[in-house]
Chain A
Amino acid sequence: MGPQYAKAVVDGVLTGGVYALMAAGLTLIFGVMDIINIAQGIMVILGAYLSYVLSVHLGLDLFATLVLTVPALFVVGVTVEWVFMRRLADRERTAMSILVTYAVAIIIEGILTQVFGVSFIQLHASYVNSSVHVLGFYLPYIYLYGFALAIVLLGGLYAILYLTRFGQSLRAALQDRRAAELIGIDVERVRTITFGIGIAVTAAGGMVFGATNSFNPNSGYDLISRLLTIVILGGLGSIGGALLAALFMLVLEDVVAVAWSPVWSTLVFFAALVIVLTFRPQGLFGRAAARAQ
């Protein structure tokens, strides 16, 4: 175990935390609504562009931009749910939702391409460019701050789920939609807000992603394929599973990058999904038939 392996593991855990946040939104949306939101990837990129505009043109600190971008993406999420998701018929709802959200993703990609073009950009701040010396290697501060942000927001998400009345309704809708309706929960409203929350977390994820990677409107594809891999491995609808799977996959990817080559590490990411699903169709951490699908 040379220092490069230690770095790979630390890198993997820190970026894994951010992926866990983005994946939590995706898996929450699925759990409550039976919707797979293909637009989650492009929403992350949209969040990154919003932070970019605010930091470059208004001179805001990257973390301060979240005060505006998180509510903005919450509104985008609620609007998308209200305009499109409600109209989905119950039959083949999940498969149809993949197509509809794919179309939404294409439209957002088109708008971003019109506005920003296709050249790659990256978010900048003092803590993006300076590093801290730990365990014999250098780590940009943004990785630590981003991880801390992800932990705080995931904690907030858990607090909403387990400590509030809305969270109670949400968990009821997650367990059994009809029973939740029968005891007087407005499931439609729960769904709309859940979609909003699931999208809002991408604003934070997008800011950290944009500060640690260069991106363009096309980057959404790569992100969504990773996020889907994470939530399927974690067992769709399980937030805890998504957290574990995100950490597992990103550490695996970083270690493979060191041991073998960065070129093949992404391949391992998808190959892991294929291998796991061949033996465990319900995912690594999923309960068998958590929802009767």
Chain B
Amino acid sequence: MSGTVSGARAGAVLAALGILAVFPLVFSNPTTTTIGLFVVIFMVAATAWNAFAGLSGYIALGHAVFFGSGAYTLAIVAEKLHMTGGWSVFELVPLAGVVAGLIAIPFGLVALRTRRHTFVVITIAIFFIFQLLAFNLTITHGSSGLQTPTPLWTAVGYNQRFYYVAAAILVLTVAMAWAIRRSRFGLQLLAIRDDEDRARGLGVRTGRVKLIAFAASAVPTGMVGAVYAYFLGQIFPQFAFDPLFDITIALMAFFGGLGTLTGPLLGALVLEALQQEFTLHFSVGGLYLIVYGALFLVVILLLPQGVVPTLASLLPRTRARLTQRAGAEA
């Protein structure tokens, strides 16, 4: 029985990878591939966020710091090195991840000293510090923003290049989240979520565990921030460091199911596709905000567990009921 289950799971993983790989080839319309790219970017960010916040219970609302730092790393380095558009610019993506991870260390050292709501508020405050820095430093060119190199690729396959880079980051990020979840380290994070003082009493080095998880979740976020900046061709402080980004990735994880592996993927798929559709069809942003906020309320108040765990808890129950009924009829 367990053999069939793990076989089915392996099949599902292969199918998901297959869909991820062929999607931009089947739906090669540039509008669709753009949506696909943004969905993948947000899948990475939500998965990375969830690997820290979902397991440790620390609701961080400052991950836009890492996204924006990654975006600016690519833009600034490409400008300083006078890089021209092409594959070489993608070589800066890992660097952007490293920078985001390094920023996460002092950020985490300060913020992780506090707990619960104070932690949430301090992540918001640190986020605003970074947004203000991006607005006011000379290296970021303030509110006039920065240009990233324009690749001289033909329109055919243009989006696909960005998509596959983001998809590769996604595969690595999901693998990382899976590895964390399965490891002793992941159990330590769960222990911190359930009762941090007791976890410490039992010998978990809570400070170090939290900091490592925080930095680990920053790295992929910074990498996709860099891909985002390169794809858009220019970045501005208010889009690289966007308070809505902070809340969006949290919502995606909550929507799918906090602490689950597939939850953030599902959340990003549904919510980011929805957002892109809205931006395409409605010029004024107000309506989108209303729908978005309402959806958020419905998820948190009616499905606090998220979609995936709710379905999962329904499934065995349904199965059990079916078996019972079959037994009664027999």
Contacts and interface: CB of A to CB of B under 8 A. Distances in A.
B297 interface: yes
A273 B301 CA distance: 31
Given A99-B300, A110-B288, A225-B124, A277 B113 contact: yes
A232 B118 contact: yes
Interface in A74-132: 84, 87-89, 92, 94-96, 98-100, 102-107, 109-115, 117-118
Contacts of A107: 289-290, 293-294, 297
B286 to A, nearest CB: 3
A99 B296 contact: yes
Contact of B125 (A98, A102, A117, A274): A274
Contact of B132 (A87, A110, A267, A273): A267
Contacts of B128: 225, 266, 270
B252 to A, nearest CB: 12
Interface in B296-322: 296-297, 300-301, 304
Interface string B121-132: 110111011001
A111 B286 contact: yes
Contacts of A87: 301
Given A100-B301, A112-B286, A267 B120 contact: no
Given A99-B254, A107-B289, A277-B118, A225 B284 contact: no
A113 B287 CA distance: 8
Contact of B133 (A221, A225, A267): A267
Nearest to B254: A99
Nearest to B58: A95
Nearest to A94: B117
A62 interface: no
A99 B248 CA distance: 11
Contacts of B294: 103, 107
Contacts of B293: 103-107, 110
Chain B facing A: main interface SS? helix
B285 A113 contact: yes
Contacts of B136: 263-264, 267
A277 B284 contact: no
B247 interface: yes
A100 B286 contact: no
A22 interface: no
B250 A99 contact: yes
A114 B284 contact: yes
A263 B143 CA distance: 12
Nearest to B129: A270
B116 interface: yes
B10 interface: no
Nearest to B247: A102
A84 B301 contact: yes
B59 interface: yes
Nearest to B133: A267
Interface in B215-272: 243-244, 247, 250-251, 254
A3 to B, nearest CB: 27
B290 A103 contact: no
Given A107-B289, A229-B125, A274-B110, A96 B300 contact: yes
Contacts of A229: 121, 125
Given A98-B59, A229-B125, A113 B117 contact: no
B125 A94 contact: no
A95 B301 contact: no
B286 A110 contact: yes
B62 to A, nearest CB: 11
B158 interface: no
A84 B290 CA distance: 16
Quick one: which of A109, A232, A277 has the most chain B CB within 10 A?
A277
A113 B49 CA distance: 29
Contacts of B59: 95, 98-99
Given A266-B132, A267-B136, A278 B113 contact: yes
Contacts of A170: none
A111 B250 CA distance: 22
A228 interface: yes
Contacts of B288: 110
B144 interface: no
29 contacts: A94-B116, A95-B116, A96-B300, A98-B117, A99-B251, A99-B254, A99-B296, A104-B293, A105-B293, A107-B289, A107-B294, A109-B289, A110-B286, A110-B288, A110-B291, A111-B286, A114-B286, A115-B286, A217-B286, A225-B124, A228-B121, A229-B121, A229-B125, A236-B117, A266-B132, A267-B129, A274-B129, A277-B110, A281-B114
Given A84-B297, A105-B293, A273-B122, 16 more contacts: A36-B117, A94-B116, A95-B120, A99-B251, A103-B293, A103-B297, A106-B293, A110-B289, A111-B286, A117-B284, A228-B125, A267-B129, A270-B125, A274-B126, A277-B114, A278-B110
Please give me the 7 A-B residue pairs with the lowest Cβ-Cβ distance, nearest first: A110-B289, A113-B286, A114-B286, A107-B293, A106-B293, A110-B290, A103-B296
